[in-house]
Amino acid sequence: MPGFNCQFSQIILSVRDMASQVHFYRDLLGFPIPYPKEPTDFYKEMWVEFDTGSCTLALHGGETESPDDKHELIFTVDDITFARQALLDTGITMSEVRTLETGELIAAGFDPEGHGFSIKNAKGGTDLA
């Protein structure tokens, strides 16, 4: 057992098209950008950070390949039915809502470059109503 306090602080995703990824994470999911402060053209940025509340999500530009399917980001939402429909309305393909073994509700999708993500109901309940 380690003798120090360890906390998760940052996720880094390598991306090809920074502007479309910023649109997804800032404009569709609603995460504020603490860095860079005031860029005029995200297409030219190589590093963008989002404040997710619990840790920083950083996008690193310059990727040339599509992401593999070995990772998934999971975001907590207040109302999974509403959030899923809002994402569907913007053209993001989402799975049907399903119940995890823990009883939590979850739905999966992919960001514009193919990074897997899911939205999970904050209440942890099994109500879809």
Which residue from 47, 17, 10 is spatially nearest to 112, judged by alpha carbons? 17
- C-alpha to C-alpha distances, 84 to 107, 113, 128, nearest whole angstrom: 7, 18, 12
Q: Which residue type is seen at 112?
A: P
In this structure, is residue 2 part of a structural domain?
no
For the cut 70, the answer to whether the pLDDT of residue 124 exceeds it is no
Total structural domains within the chain:
2
**pLDDT the model gives residue 54:** 84
Indicate which CATH number applies to the domain containing 47.
3.10.180.10
**pLDDT the model gives residue 127:** 53
Considering only residues 5 and 88, tell me which one the structure prediction assigns the higher pLDDT: 88
User: Does one domain contain both 77 and 129?
Assistant: yes
Give the structural domain span for 41. 8-65
User: Does one domain contain both 60 and 80?
Assistant: no
User: Does one domain contain both 70 and 126?
Assistant: yes
In this structure, is residue 117 part of a structural domain?
yes
pLDDT, tens digit (0-9, with 9 covering 90-100), for 60-118: 999 898 888 778 899 999 999 999 999 999 999 999 999 999 899 999 999 999 999 99
**pLDDT the model gives residue 41:** 84
